[in-house]
A = this chain, B = another copy of it.
Amino acid sequence: MIGIMKSMDRKEELLEQVVEHVLEHGLIGLTLRPLAAAIGTSDRMLIYHFGGRDELVAAVVARANDHSVAAVKSMEPAEDVRTGVEALWHAYREEPMHSCLQIYLQAAATGLIGMEPYRSVVRAANELWYAALRDYITACGAPPERAGRIATLVDSSLIGFHLDLATDRPDELATGVADLAVAAGAIAAA
């Protein structure tokens, strides 16, 4: 029993290191041996603790999402919904959310074609994420009966903006986000 506790600690320790590595080097194309070497262990041990590559990937995606969710939950509510959406976009582009969202995007794009475990873990992650977003929007003063609707719009749209961050010019995207924020505010005030 105590041995199990010990192993859990070690697994947790490894997971944190793996997440850190994936945040920097990406999820797509992740393989065990280079990963293990980078964090000072062996593929043998990663499989021993996690059971296999798939389980490790699932744990990484879930953990990265936890970090994102925690970051949103730690945000101070803005004074209104429009300002809140702008604040969200600002948070999206800063660490730790920026890298965590990139992991999410990579996992979501992979899960898009039905590949497991990406599909399942992304589903679960998205639910937690959506709930956190809705709570924040509610805290910004949105009517509770419309917060979910606003969260749906903001969630999908901001993810899209974040994806385009790599190809578009940031200042152009900023006008798009501003328009989105106004729209969200209008729904809240309707």
Contact = CB atoms under 8 A, between A and B. Distances in A.
Interface residue tally on A, bucketed by range: 35 or more
Interface stretch (A42-50, A70-78, A115-123, A136-144): A115-123
Contacts of A156: 157, 160-161, 163-164, 168, 173, 176
B26 A163 contact: no
Contact of A108 (B26, B29, B163): B163
Given A159-B160, A163-B112, A167-B108, A152 B180 contact: no
Interface string A95-110: 0000000100110111
Interface string A150-184: 10110111111101101110001101100110110
Nearest to A108: B163
A163 B164 CA distance: 13
A83 interface: no
Q: How many copies of this chain does one complex carry?
A: 2
B166 A152 contact: no
A108 B159 CA distance: 12
B113 A28 contact: yes
B164 A126 contact: yes
Nearest to A165: B112
B123 A149 contact: no
A186 interface: yes
Contacts of A164: 126, 155-156, 159
Contacts of A158: 160
Contacts of A149: 175-176, 179
Contacts of A159: 160, 163-164
Given A160-B161, A161-B156, A179-B149, A167 B126 contact: yes
Contact of A115 (B28, B105, B119, B186): B28
